[in-house]
Structure 1
Amino acid sequence: MAKQRTTRIQDILGLINAFCPATLAEEWDNVGLQVGDPAAEVSTVTVALDPTEVTIEAAIAEGAQLLVCHHPLIFKPLRQVTPNDTTGALVTRAVGAGLAIISAHTNLDRARGGLNDWLGAKVGLKQMQPLESIDGQLFKLVVFVPQEQAGAVAEALFAGGAGQVGAYDHCSFRGDGVGTFRSGDESNPYIGESGRDESVAEVRLETIVAKEHLGRSVARMLKAHPYEEVAYDLLPLANSRNDVGLGRIGRLEEPESLGRYAQQVKELLAADHVRVVGDPEKQIAKVAVCGGSGASLVAAATRQGADLLLTGDVKYHDAQIAESLGLALIDAGHFATERIMIDGLATVLSSGLQQKNLDVKVLPLSLEQDPFRVI
């Protein structure tokens, strides 16, 4: 019998990145491994909404080596890590207990089959599509690099978000060839001498880059490339990507009145309460959803012909705008619209581990509560 391979934190991170690539995250977000050693062994993974004292202690009590959360523990750079501030105390406790922490935040929100798909399915939506798609323009980037630097340049491109094709990352094509050049008197060539014809064994490195990652990928490539003048091509592709983005929009199997559907949503999401904007008798057929804070999608929902936007954290003026546009709202709260990710991501990880024949236990932690109380 083949010996069971040791599972490491980086293996779990790989599963997460395959499902919801870090490249899908908003620029301001901080996703991925936040605390811990990627090479550390793991036998038990816990999943929670937030990395709080409660969930960290629960993970430690379960003997877990990893806590996967939706919300990041570290949003901004820390000046210091001490037990004297909230974040520092949590980091210190996790490190001391050998508990790594990973965040899957806006990348999970945007991913195909991710949080917003789970939310939409939970409240009865069919035929779902992204409410606000990421610009789907794709480019092929071709760069010529000396053979010995090809790996470093490729890694720089991947770190910038290049090489993502569906559920696969680090995708590239590499072919060997010979590059020729003659450098001018004012140049400082990496290879050869000024004024002489030179030839060098090079690799033609090709990869795919989405428009939103183009600038960052090219900048990292240029920094890693050894040449003064880098020869590269950017080719716009006819194929595009439109299956990822923020929020989802779909249809109910049968139209419902706003009042009745709001009651159903409250029960389905086990919410303490919901807030509603619109006529309770309005017929709802086409519904947009966005877990967490989605009031910024009022205009997108209206453009796509939604009768209703289901989200959380709606402010007074956002509600006024929606009302003026004839868009009904159900605000079920940040917590109730996002905690569905606990079981959803736990299922994804369990399935991925099973497919790879990795013996790791995945435990959803469902002990968190909405901090708000209605009196």
Structure 2
Amino acid sequence: MYAKGQAVIQLMEEFAPKSYAVENDRIGLQIGTLSKEIRKVLIALDVTDEVVEEAIREQADLIIAHHAVIFRPLPHIQTDTPAGRLYEKLIKHDIAVYIAHTNLDVADGGINDMMAEAIGMTKTEPLDEVHTDKLKKLVVFAPQDHAENVRKALFEAGAGWIGDYSHCSFNIEGTGTFMPKEGTDPYIGQQGKLEAVKEIRIETIVPQSVERKAVQAMLRAHPYEEVAYDLYPLDLKTRTFGLGRAGKLPQPVTLKELCEQVKQAFDVPMLRIVGDPDRMLRKAAVLGGSGARYVRHAIFAGADVLITGDIDYHTAHDALAAGIALIDPGHNVEKIMKRGVAEILERKLAERKWTTAVVASRIDTEPFRFA
């Protein structure tokens, strides 16, 4: 059975929640509708005419891309302009376009983690914090014979984490009372009769990012027709999420050696560097896309080198003076997300027994060529 568009995006947003995006980022559904079955999803870095033609050939119903197809407010849609023709083609072929940008950069396992993993970085931390997951306390009352199933569902949905400890909960035995009224279909008891049932009060921690998923999982596992549960906001912070990553390299290498690793890991033929090629490096920072304004963040994190795109002349001079090396493999290295996101979404769909296919775009959208 094919997944509906809303279900596909719900899985995508479990991985890269919209709340992770920086303010005013152009994310979400930009073209088309999600109120349809999705037979195939195409994962792309950019939405160009060549990518749209690929989606048509693949019979894809949805493109999930990293870079917005509509970045600035549109004064008009004229179909005799390049942008207008692109939008017209997408609409005529009923291809929806959904954008995951900085939320995908920030997410655990997102673009910056993919980049860090590609060169073997360990013990990574965000360069620039943009989101702290808020915590809530979830309390639910379940009959004794279903308490374990309800706890298991909550834990599998991401609830119950305190620091590095998982499956955290507190459980109290008590008696629940209720009277099923006319029209109800009670799991326990009879209509019009007051019932007293031995129940377990289950308390656990739920990060806001998985709140919806956890509540839905709890409701599915609970046997009652009407589930009694509470959600309390807590004045506590949990994990912090952010742009970029800083971490240790697998072993000390020279800038020249790291350049060769970067070219291979990110599939780029050439790159620009700032710094002495023979300098030894032990700690690196990576940031997908344009990272010129994050040089200071990399220095503060103790990185010997920052790997990012779109480095300008003056930033290069500032970095040289500050004593940090730079490797600029270009903005397009974010293409690493195509295969990475495709694999994650494909796995999530398969876990739910949906037959919607997911493919990574094979189109090279790098606009620069070397002469």
Aligned to 1:342: 338
- The aligned amino acid for 1:277 is V
Contact 2:136 2:208 in 1 (8 A): no
**1:307: which partner in 2?**
304
Counterpart in 2 of 1:217? none
Say whether residues 1:354 and 2:354 are aligned partners. Answer: no
Matched residue SS, 1:339:
helix
Question: What's the CA shift string for 1:276-322, capped at 9, x where partnerless?
Answer: 11111111110000011111110111011000000000001111111
Q: Report the CA distance between 1:37 and its aligned residue.
A: 1.2
Q: Which residue of 2 aligns with 1:112?
A: 108
Contact 1:248 1:290 in 2 (8 A): yes
> Within 1, Cα distance between the matches of 2:290 and 2:54?
27
| Partners of 1:266 and 1:273 within 8 A in 2 | yes
Work out the CA distance in 2 between the residues paired with 1:130 and 1:317: 25
- Return the alpha-carbon distance in structure 2 between the equivalents of residues 63 and 137 of structure 1: 38
Deviations 1:112-141 (A, max 9, x none): 110000011111211222121225374779
Structure 1 residue 78, shift from structure 2 partner: 1.7
Go from structure 1 to structure 2 and tell me whether the alpha carbon gap of 1:79 and 1:164 turns closer, same or farther (over 3 Å shift).
farther
Instruction: Measure the CA separation in 1 of the matches of 2:318 and 2:325.
Output: 10
Q: Which amino acid aligns with 1:60?
A: I
Normalised to the residue count of structure 1, the TM-score between the two structures is: 0.73
Partner residue of 2:239? Answer: 241
| Larger displacement relative to structure 2 (251-260 or 74-83) | 74-83
1:90 aligns with 2:86: yes
Look up the SS of the partner of 2:347 in the other structure. Answer: helix
1:189-240 CA distances to partner (integer Å, 9 max, x unpaired)? Answer: xxxxxxxxxxxxxxx99565xxxxxxxxxxxxxxxxxxxxxxxxxx6x2333
The 3 A distance-change label for structure 1 pair 75 and 171 is: farther
Q: Give the 3 Å change call, closer, same or farther, for CA 170–121 of structure 1 in structure 2.
A: closer
| Partners of 1:166 and 1:28 in 2: CA distance | 19
Judge conservation of contact 2:46–2:365 (CA < 8 Å) in 1: no
Q: Do structure 1's residue 280 and structure 2's residue 323 form an aligned pair? A: no
Note if 1:165 corresponds to 2:162.
no
- The amino acid that maps onto 1:18 is E
Aligned length: 292
User: Which amino acid in structure 2 is aligned with residue 50 of structure 1?
Assistant: D
| 1:68 is aligned to 2:64 | yes
Match of 1:367 among 318, 342, 363: 363
What is the correspondence of 1:169-180 to structure 2 with a 5 Å cutoff? Answer: 169=212
**2:151 is matched with which residue?**
none
SS at match of 1:134: strand
**Matches of 2:284 and 2:135, distance apart in 1:** 33
Q: CA deviation at 1:95?
A: 0.8
Percent identity, aligned pairs only? 36
**Which whole-Å CA distance do the structure 2 matches of 1:266 and 1:137 have between them?**
35
Which residue number in structure 1 is paired with residue 224 of structure 2? Answer: none
Give, in angstroms, the shift of residue 164 of structure 1. Answer: 6.3
Give me the whole-angstrom Cα distance separating, in 1, the residues matched to 2:77 and 2:211.
Answer: 35
After superposition, the CA RMSD in angstroms is: 2.3
SS in 2 for 1:290: strand
Amino acid at match of 1:363: V
Range moving further from structure 2, 106-115 or 26-35: 26-35
Q: Report the residue type matching 2:239 in the other structure.
A: R
Tell whether 2:50 aligns with 1:50.
Answer: no
1:14 Cα deviation from its structure 2 partner: 0.6
Q: Helix, strand or coil: the match of 1:240?
A: strand
- Does the CA contact (< 8 Å) of 2:22 and 2:130 recur in 1? no
1:324 is displaced (CA, Å) by 1.2
Tell me by how many angstroms 1:21 deviates: 0.7
Distance 1:207 1:7, change over 3 A: farther
| Structure 1 SS opposite 2:75 | coil
1:44 Cα deviation from its structure 2 partner: 0.8
Distance 1:169 1:207, change over 3 A: farther
Shift of 1:53: 0.4
TM-score, normalisation: structure 2: 0.74
CA offsets, 1:142-174, max 9 Å, x none?
xxxxxxxxxxxxxxxxxxxxx96244448789x
* Unaligned segments of structure 1, at least 5 residues: 142-162, 174-203, 209-234
Report the equivalent of 2:320: 323
1:263 aligned residue (239, 244, 260): 260
Cα distance change of structure 1 residues 23 and 136 upon mapping to structure 2, 3 Å threshold: closer
Instruction: Find the counterpart in structure 2 of residue 27 from structure 1.
Output: 23
Give the distance between the partners of 1:274 and 1:92, measured in 2 at CA: 36
Q: Deviation string for 1:81-113 (max 9, x for gaps)? A: 231223222111111001111111111001111
Is the contact made by 2:40 and 2:59 (CA closer than 8 Å) also made in structure 1?
Answer: yes
DSSP-derived class of the 2:108 partner: coil
Map of 2:293 onto structure 1: 296
